[in-house]
Amino acid sequence: MQVVSPTPGVLVAVRDVDSLRRRIQSWRREGLSVALVPTMGALHKGHLTLMAHAQKLADRVVATIFVNPKQFGPNEDFAAYPRREHDDFEMLNAAGVHLLFAPDVGAMYPQGFATSVRVAGLSDILDGEHRAGHFDGVATVVTKLLLQALPDIALFGEKDYQQLAIIRRLTSDLNIPVDIIGAPTVREADGLAMSSRNAYLTAEERAAAPALHRAITAAAKSIAGGADIAGALAKAREELLKAGFKNVDYVEARHAQTLQRLNPGEPGRVLVAAQLGRARLIDNIAI
């Protein structure tokens, strides 16, 4: 694989699938490899780290920006979700990303669109219990993006750990010929995982938010040290409520790959989702 160094200022943006495919096919004819980095925009340092990671692994990097209506519930923040396409374009351009695919809703879901991809089991637990239909929306759009671009690799952040597990499952189940790469969560200096939704936090909430990372780090350490799992998780929940989180949807220790019940000695992950003001924050950490 020939890896070229990124050249800032070469970004081309396309909105339709034909243009996306034409450009990717021309790279393929030159023998170049392609990485896809799907996003919903409102880009931050976490996304740029993913782009930089992609640049190390492939010759050409395609970013996508699409705020996918199918993964938002009726009472969720689809309308309010931050949209900053101009700034995002500048950031991707400066980072040396080669192609931006930014379709509109009509291009992704034209009149008569009737297909849904559902990963049973994995989509019904943890976040799936609190966000009905969310992972079906994610699975549907990611399947479409992968089939539209047919990249060699696609990168997703580990911050959305359950999403990553679902995407691995669906690409394997549907024989989509792509390597899914999970990239470590990028954090602020105080431990808060970077997220476009952090923009919803007031100054006071932002000061309280690192409690999320602190609580799951402490729980993971206790569990790794042999502490009672239920006790460690109850303590984490208590810490979050004390820090000002309104409610904790879940704080759970699960098997790192299957996300099922964790048995002693198995690789584990602590996963959390909790509401702080307007922001529903999620995070996870290895045990």
- Which residues of the chain form contacts with ligand PAF (CB under 6 A)? 38-40, 68, 71, 138, 141-142, 160, 163
Closest CA to 122 of 168, 74, 155: 168
**Between residues 183 and 209, which has the closer beta carbon with respect to ligand PAF?**
183
- Asked about 47 being catalytic, the answer comes back as yes
Q: List C-alpha distances in Å: 111 to 71, 107, 108, 239, 243.
A: 18, 9, 10, 48, 46
**Rounded distance between C-alpha atoms, residue 240 and residue 211, angstroms:** 6
Q: What is the dihedral of CA 107, 38, 213, 133, to 10 degrees?
A: 40
- Closest separation between CB of residue 193 and ligand PAF, Å? 12
Q: Please list the residues that pair with 157 across neighbouring strands.
A: 183
- The residue (of 152 and 160) whose beta carbon lies closer to ligand PAF is 160
Which is closer to ligand PAF, CB of 195 or CB of 222?
195
Q: Minimal distance in Å, beta carbon 69 to ligand PAF?
A: 10
Q: At its nearest, how many Å lie between ligand PAF and the CB of residue 145?
A: 8
Chain position whose Cβ is nearest to ligand PAF:
38
Compute the least distance from the CB of residue 113 to ligand PAF, in Å. 16
Rounded to whole angstroms, how far apart are CA atoms 102 and 15? 5
Distance CA 125, CA 32 (A): 39
Instruction: Please say whether the beta carbons of 69 and 105 come within 8 A.
Output: yes
- Point out the catalytic residue in the list 47, 53, 98, 213: 47
Return the number of the residue (71 or 222) whose C-beta is nearest ligand PAF: 71
- Catalytic (active-site) positions: 47
